[in-house]
């Protein structure tokens, strides 16, 4: 697509395009990618809002499919110029089995790579995660780190294990020859905790706070910083990376980029209060109300109950040993690599991101969606 780049209309495929992040990527492409000719949205579950998008100038093709099915992926990838692979099983609560998480996140990614190679698609952007790095099982802090910061990445939980393996597959595939003889160019974007319109855990916290009469109770010390990034900026970073991969293949190919923006460094709960506070909730306690060992005990109890009840019912509360460790370990990034490599600047300021999220929480919290 080199010479006629300005004129040629491109075909993009977004896997997981109906998910929280995927929807934002899809809408961002339609708004901000002038070379877009066709947008293929591939997901296991197609959402009704896709229908509205079909009336615009860009051809939007909804494809119901499963990334674990190699033939379905190959059919969707055939003829695409760029793939943004954001589909994944995000489960840190024990809802799915480790085998299923591996199958979707690792084998699904392998299928996407092989489909690119077989069909001649040259550009692949993969949605990785901060979890590929940490927090690690030892609870070491990662304080304002960047892509080159040395950190002992040790995983045991199926989700980070699967994201780390999948990211490695994507990076190792960079440079492979695709059908037609050209090299595959890949990169991986690593969001920290994403927030914004569509963030289900935020909505759940809001509803829980309403049920408790407007109160939430501090569980984690305010001094523990947790990295967060606005979904619109994560989507924008995907769109920009996908666009620039062709022009800057030598620089960007095989690289990883943390996703970042101007969101403040705060604890997980204090950050959530930036949105839940204006929606009428209050966080009780300058310090955690329960001693940490009680939380550790409750998290272990939840894990035991999950295991005992599994034959009868799925018990998957938010608090378990893994989520407690993540929430209780400082992990924040400070980097400008995406700016240096492909000119990324956040599209949404912190104030914009905050306002948009508050409006969504207010609407989502009071409706049944």
Ligand X SMILES: CC(C)CCC[C@@H](C)[C@H]1CC[C@H]2[C@@H]3[C@H](O)CC4=CC(=O)CC[C@]4(C)[C@H]3CC[C@]12C
Catalytic residue ranges: 159
Using the rule CB under 6 A, which residue among 58, 74, 251, 318 binds ligand X? 318
Q: How far is the CB of 133 from ligand X (least distance, A)?
A: 11
**Rounded to the nearest 10 degrees, how much is the dihedral formed by the CA atoms of 277, 283, 285, 287?**
-90
Q: How many residues does the chain have?
A: 369
Given 129, 267, 329, 357, the residue binding ligand X (CB under 6 A): 129
Rg for the chain (alpha carbons), in Å?
21
Contacts with ligand NAI in 174-213 (CB under 6 A)? Answer: 191, 193-194
Alpha-helix residue ranges (DSSP H) falling in 93-230:
98-102, 108-119, 158-173, 200-211
Candidates 23-31, 57-65, 127-135, 147-155 — which segment interacts with ligand X by CB under 6 A?
A: 127-135
Q: Which of ligand X, ligand NAI, none has residue 67 at its interface (CB below 5 to 8 Å by kind)?
A: ligand NAI
Q: Phi and psi at residue 218, in whole multiples of 5°?
A: -65, 130
Of the residues 44, 81, 102, 354, which one makes contact with ligand NAI according to CB under 6 A? 44
The entry of ligand X, ligand NAI, none that residue 122 binds, CB within 5 to 8 Å by partner kind: none
Residue placing its CB nearer to ligand X in the complex, 93 or 360 = 93
Q: Can you read off the two tokens belonging to residue 257?
A: 């980029």
Give yes or no for residue 134 binding ligand NAI (CB under 6 A). Answer: no
Q: How far apart are CA 369 and CA 76, in angstroms?
A: 30
Among the listed residues 115, 116, 149, the one whose alpha carbon sits nearest the alpha carbon of residue 132:
149
The reply to whether 202 sits near ligand X by the rule CB under 6 A is no
The one segment of 40-48, 105-113, 276-284, 315-323 that binds ligand X by CB under 6 A: 315-323
Please provide the DSSP assignment of 143-181 as one string. EEE-TT--------SHHHHHHHHHHHHHHHHTTPBPTTS
How far, rounded to the nearest angstrom, does the alpha carbon of residue 45 sit from its chain's CA centroid?
Answer: 17
Residue list 135-164, contact with ligand NAI (CB under 6 A): 163
Q: Residue 19 touches which of ligand X, ligand NAI, none (CB < 5 to 8 A by kind)?
A: ligand NAI
The reply on whether position 324 binds ligand X by CB under 6 A is yes
Nearest residue to ligand NAI, using CB? 19
Q: Are 104 and 292 in contact (CB under 8 A)?
A: no
Q: How far apart are CA 155 and CA 165, in angstroms?
A: 11
Residues contributing to the site for ligand NAI (CB under 6 A) = 16, 18-22, 43-45, 66-68, 86-90, 104, 108, 127, 129, 163, 191, 193-194
């Amino acid at each position: 697509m080199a010479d006629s780049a300005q004129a040629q209309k491109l075909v993009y495929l977004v896997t997981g395009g109906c998910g929280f992040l995927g929807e934002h990527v899809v809408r961002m492409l339609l708004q901000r990618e002038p070379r877009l000719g066709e947008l293929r949205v591939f997901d296991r579950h197609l959402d009704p809002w896709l229908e509205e998008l079909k009336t615009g100038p860009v051809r939007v093709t909804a494809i119901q499919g499963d990334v674990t099915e190699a033939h379905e992926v190959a059919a969707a990838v055939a003829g695409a110029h760029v793939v943004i692979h954001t589909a994944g099983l995000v489960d840190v609560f024990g809802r799915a089995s480790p085998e299923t998480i591996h199958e979707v996140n690792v084998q699904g990614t392998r299928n996407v790579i092989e489909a690119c190679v077989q069909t001649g698609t040259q550009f692949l952007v993969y949605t990785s995660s901060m979890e590929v790095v940490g927090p690690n099982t030892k609870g070491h802090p990662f304080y304002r780190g960047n892509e080159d910061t040395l950190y002992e990445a040790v995983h045991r939980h199926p989700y980070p294990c699967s994201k780390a393996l999948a990211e490695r597959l994507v990076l190792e595939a960079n440079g492979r020859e695709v059908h037609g003889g050209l090299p595959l160019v890949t990169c991986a974007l690593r969001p920290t905790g994403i927030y914004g319109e569509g963030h289900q855990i935020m909505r759940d916290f809001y509803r829980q706070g309403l049920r408790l009469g407007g109160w939430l109770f501090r569980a984690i010390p305010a001094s523990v910083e947790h990295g967060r990034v606005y979904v619109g900026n994560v989507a924008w970073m995907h769109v920009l990376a996908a666009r620039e991969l062709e022009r800057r293949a030598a620089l960007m190919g095989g690289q990883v980029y943390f996703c970042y923006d101007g969101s403040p460094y705060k604890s997980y709960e204090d950050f959530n209060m930036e949105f839940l506070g204006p929606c009428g909730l209050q966080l009780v306690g300058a310090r955690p109300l329960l001693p940490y060992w009680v939380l550790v005990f409750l998290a272990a109890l939840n894990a035991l109950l999950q295991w005992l009840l599994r034959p009868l019912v799925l018990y998957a509360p938010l608090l378990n040993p893994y989520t407690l460790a993540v929430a209780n370990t400082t992990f924040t990034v400070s980097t400008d690599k995406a700016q240096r490599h492909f000119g990324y600047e956040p599209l949404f300021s912190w104030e914009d991101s905050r306002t948009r999220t508050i409006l969504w929480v207010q609407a989502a919290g009071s409706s049944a969606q």
